[in-house]
Amino acid sequence: MPLPYMLAASLLVGIATGYQVKSTLFKAKQSKELLQTVSQLKQVGIRNKELVNEISDQQQKTKIITKTIIKRIPNYVTKKQKSDSDCNISGDAKRMLNKLVNM
């Protein structure tokens, strides 16, 4: 086989090998990035579960407070009103309640 053909064949084999190595390195880099992303997603999932538990606990506390307030209303409201317009609250009490609502 003449020398120029051998050189051309060597060059082609070298180029093909170079592209294969480059492709393999790129795939390795992608794999590493994917593993990091999977790790981050697992951490986010764990944090989401913690937040769901915290929200559930807060909802339970809110239910208990609401039940307590509803149970205590009869202690302060002695006369049952037929409509909202029957409410006879003093002007100062109305201003105070409006301020609380707007806070």
pLDDT digits (tens, 9 = 90+) for 49-74: 999 999 988 888 887 777 766 666 66
83 pLDDT exceeds 70? no
Q: CA 60, CA 52: separation in Å to the nearest integer?
A: 12
Q: CA 15, CA 21: separation in Å to the nearest integer?
A: 10
Q: CA 47, CA 53: separation in Å to the nearest integer?
A: 10
Token pair of 48 as six digits: 């989401």
Domains in the chain: how many in total? 1
> Would 87 be classed as within a structural domain?
no
**What pLDDT, on a 0 to 100 scale, did the predictor assign at position 1?**
63
The parent domain of residue 17 ranges over 3-76
**What pLDDT, on a 0 to 100 scale, did the predictor assign at position 80?**
67
> Would 51 be classed as within a structural domain?
yes
Asked if 81 contacts 87 with a C-beta cutoff of 8 angstroms, the reply is yes
- The pTM of the full predicted model, rounded to 2 decimals, is 0.42
32 vs 99 pLDDT, higher one: 32
> Would 101 be classed as within a structural domain?
no
Helix (H) or strand (E) holding 3: helix 3-76
From 41-50, 74-83, 94-103, the region with the lowest mean pLDDT: 74-83
44 band by pLDDT with thresholds 50, 70 and 90: very high
> Would 84 be classed as within a structural domain?
no
